Chains A and B, each alone.
Chain A
Amino acid sequence: MSSIDDHYHLVLYIDTAKPRSFDISHRLRQLCKRHLSKSFTLEVIDLRKEPALLEQRRIIAVPTLDVTTPQSQKHRFVGDLTASKSFIVATGMFLNAENMQQNATKMKQNIINYKSKFK
């Protein structure tokens, strides 16, 4: 694992017995690439293979995403983040002010894009 000082560290817990789980990890990676200003690592953990981690990290639902920001803030999100809207809401919670400003325009664009998709 590289230093977390300069990038987001994401851990996604999925249950591979659930049909949508691979889809979720794939789409999350795409979303991160598009929206996160700094580099990131995404670790995907299959709970079926590592049940001990469930206990250690006290996971009660899938998918769960643990995010460690470059400022070492920790966030946990439960539920499917891959709907663009929920990802934006979620990332808004852990992006710091500097990033926020940087991303504001990006996000605005995203929302416009998102909206235009359904028009």
Chain B
Amino acid sequence: MDKLKITSGLKGLDTILHGGYPVASPTLIKGGPGTGKTVYSLNFVNAQLQQERSSVIATCDESPERLVRYMDEFGMEGSKRLASGQLVILDFRPNLDETVVGEYDLSPILLRISHAIESSDSKVLVIDSLQNLLLGLGITEPRKEILELFDWIREKGIATLVTMSASQTSLQQSLLEEYAVDCVIHLEQVLTNQLMTRYLRVVKLRGSAHGSNSYPFSLTQNGVSLLPITATRLESGERVVRTSTGIPRIDSMLGGEGYYTGSSLMISGRSGSGKTILASTLMNQVLQQGQKAVLVSFEESESDLRRNLKSVGLDLAGFSSNGQLVIHSGRAIEMGLEDHLINTIDLVEQESPALLVLDPVSALIDMGSSQMVKMLMIRFISYIKALGTTLVLTELLPDSSDDYSELAISSLVDTWFRLRQVESNGELNRLINVVKSRGSKTSNQVKEFTIGDQGIALEDPYIGEGELVVGSAKISRIKQDQENAERKRYELEQIEQALSTLQAAYESRQRVLGAEFENEKRDLMRKIDELKRQAAQVVEKRDVMQDLRY
């Protein structure tokens, strides 16, 4: 890591800040009430304690006991560190019994902080929150002495995080931001569609590059989770290994060996088209190979899902009990899209599964403007990809749709299956086709499949002439084709017979003609010979006559 930066304790934030908070100068976190300023502070302190760096917290809002309890609740061993002396909490809560009667000097603040830092040999300081530090004195704005404190911090090279309420912005405050700190981070809460989302934005980071967008984050039981944007660099490595879908015929639709391991797949279809079952089949295959999988369901409870899948031959109980499979189910409306994605990422980071199923991802789509959803999904998909986890999304198409994807994210996925149910001859038949599959020789054929108690099975395709037919139409067509073939074979036989009869007739006639010809020929030849002989006799007679007459 950068020598000039110190980890914030949050992977996502470190990425945004290109390494972490600056060491040389305090970092200011501004945000309204409830935006999580204290939680950011605790994460920072915890990360330093983990590296055996002593830390001092000057608390102006919460009592030291409560801070320690929060840390313990977040799994940060606050009380243990406090007991070992690595963590020092200074109680700067305003004493409201105080009466200000005259001029005073704030040197004790610096004195207390420096004493605590020196005696515990700390290199890390948190002040939470600055505007309450002087509240007991009736002052809400930073004074000159605060700048002196900051100067001292800078001089000593103590990595410092200062929080501040963003409710009011005065000249003094903006002066503080301009002058005293090198890094300013804004936290805010935004309510959209009755769902609250928290955002983080880096306003200023002197002398360093930083991400400049608003990044959603979530306060979870482990502290803060940021939706990371690392992977938007598209640096995911080359994928050459393929994983079987578990259904050989679908594998062959994808070029023979299945999908690329670690790619993203989407399964689109209307209600009842078999999306969840196909997704679970893919998952089952991965589990069978001894790898881990996570399924996040927004529609079915875990037990319902388990039962429904069991009825089609996918028994997942064994995988759940040995920890290979984690099923998380929750209603989409429980929280904002960002929180859902962040929670899912937390789960993925915890379990590092080979495959992640989101069923259905379309449940999340109604939760914001399509532009925003797309942006988030890009981040999410590319992050999952960077982890090397195969992502399987299902998309529920509304019944009114023309079986076309309504999600603007289809271009983001590598492989896209479309499932349909086609009504013909009073029955519904299931069809599957591969809309696209990057880097694979994709079959252009629409195939028929059935869902039975052994799961998904692809039917033998109808290989006769004409268009694709499915279901009972296929069966009747096959029968019809067989009859047609039979009839044709019969016709052929008849024609062949006729031909051979004709041949025979021809041959016999030829023989008769030949005989007649020979006869006639013989007669004529005899006549020719006769005439020749007679002619010769005439010449002979003339000679005799000549002799006689001369």
Would you call A60 and B108 a contact (CB within 8 A)? Answer: yes
Would you call B108 and A61 a contact (CB within 8 A)? Answer: yes
User: Does B111 have its Cβ within 8 Å of any Cβ on chain A?
Assistant: yes
B61-120: which residues lie under 8 A (CB-CB) from chain A? 90-93, 95, 97-109, 111-112, 115-116
User: Does A17 have its Cβ within 8 Å of any Cβ on chain B?
Assistant: yes
Looking at the assembled complex, report how far the CB atom of B99 sits from the nearest CB atom of chain A, in whole angstroms: 5
B106-147: which residues lie under 8 A (CB-CB) from chain A? 106-109, 111-112, 115-116, 133-134, 136-137
Closest B residue to A56 by CB, please name it: B91
**Cα(A61)–Cα(B101), bound, Å:** 12
Q: For this complex, into which size category does the number of interface residues on chain B fall?
A: 20 to 34
**Cα(A64)–Cα(B103), bound, Å:** 10
Would you call B106 and A77 a contact (CB within 8 A)? Answer: no
**Cα(A27)–Cα(B389), bound, Å:** 75
Would you call A76 and B99 a contact (CB within 8 A)? Answer: yes
| A70-113 interface bits toward B, Cβ cutoff 8 Å, 1 = contact, 0 = none | 00001111111111001101100100000000000000000000
Q: A54-B115, A79-B102 are in contact. Are A18 and B137 (CB under 8 A)?
A: no
**Cα(A13)–Cα(B90), bound, Å:** 18
Would you call B99 and A47 a contact (CB within 8 A)? Answer: no
**Cα(A55)–Cα(B93), bound, Å:** 12
Closest A residue to B99 by CB, please name it: A77
By a CB distance below 8 angstroms, the chain A residues around B99 are: 75-78, 90, 93
By a CB distance below 8 angstroms, the chain A residues around B137 are: 60-61, 78
**Cα(A60)–Cα(B93), bound, Å:** 10
Looking at the assembled complex, report how far the CB atom of A8 sits from the nearest CB atom of chain B, in whole angstroms: 16
User: Does A44 have its Cβ within 8 Å of any Cβ on chain B?
Assistant: no
Most buried by A among B106, B107, B115: B107
Q: How many residues of A contact B (CB 8 A)?
A: 32
Would you call A59 and B108 a contact (CB within 8 A)? Answer: yes
Would you call A15 and B111 a contact (CB within 8 A)? Answer: yes
User: Does A115 have its Cβ within 8 Å of any Cβ on chain B?
Assistant: no
**Cα(A90)–Cα(B101), bound, Å:** 7
Would you call A54 and B111 a contact (CB within 8 A)? Answer: yes
Would you call A78 and B108 a contact (CB within 8 A)? Answer: no
| Residue among B95, B97, B106, B115 making CB contact with A51, cutoff 8 Å | B115
User: Does A62 have its Cβ within 8 Å of any Cβ on chain B?
Assistant: yes
By a CB distance below 8 angstroms, the chain B residues around A83 are: 102
Would you call A58 and B107 a contact (CB within 8 A)? Answer: no
Q: A76-B98, A78-B98 are in contact. Are A61 and B104 (CB under 8 A)?
A: yes
Looking at the assembled complex, report how far the CB atom of A90 sits from the nearest CB atom of chain B, in whole angstroms: 5
**Cα(A15)–Cα(B114), bound, Å:** 15
Closest B residue to A74 by CB, please name it: B97
By a CB distance below 8 angstroms, the chain B residues around A55 are: 90-91, 112, 115-116
Q: A60-B136, A60-B137 are in contact. Are A76 and B95 (CB under 8 A)?
A: yes
Looking at the assembled complex, report how far the CB atom of B515 sits from the nearest CB atom of chain A, in whole angstroms: 141
Would you call A86 and B111 a contact (CB within 8 A)? Answer: no
Q: A78-B99, A78-B137 are in contact. Are A62 and B112 (CB under 8 A)?
A: no
By a CB distance below 8 angstroms, the chain B residues around A33 are: none
Q: A55-B90, A60-B136 are in contact. Are A81 and B111 (CB under 8 A)?
A: no
Closest B residue to A55 by CB, please name it: B112
Would you call A60 and B101 a contact (CB within 8 A)? Answer: no
Closest B residue to A21 by CB, please name it: B105
Looking at the assembled complex, report how far the CB atom of A47 sits from the nearest CB atom of chain B, in whole angstroms: 6
| Residue among B108, B115, B134, B136 making CB contact with A62, cutoff 8 Å | B108
A40-69: which residues lie under 8 A (CB-CB) from chain B? 47-48, 51-52, 54-55, 58-64
Closest B residue to A76 by CB, please name it: B98
Would you call A17 and B100 a contact (CB within 8 A)? Answer: no
Would you call B105 and A58 a contact (CB within 8 A)? Answer: no
**Cα(A73)–Cα(B95), bound, Å:** 16
Interface residues of A (CB under 8 A from B): 13, 15, 17-18, 47-48, 51-52, 54-55, 58-64, 74-83, 86-87, 89-90, 93
Listed by A's residue number, 15 A-B pairs whose Cβ atoms lie within 8 Å are A18-B105, A54-B108, A54-B115, A55-B116, A60-B108, A61-B137, A62-B104, A63-B104, A76-B95, A78-B99, A79-B101, A80-B103, A81-B102, A83-B102, A87-B101
If A60-B112, A61-B105, A61-B109 are given as contacts, then 11 extra A-B residue pairs at C-beta distance below 8 Å, sorted by A number, are: A15-B105, A15-B111, A59-B108, A62-B105, A62-B108, A76-B99, A77-B98, A77-B99, A78-B101, A86-B102, A90-B101
In order of increasing CB-CB distance, the 3 nearest A-B pairs are A79-B102, A80-B102, A51-B115
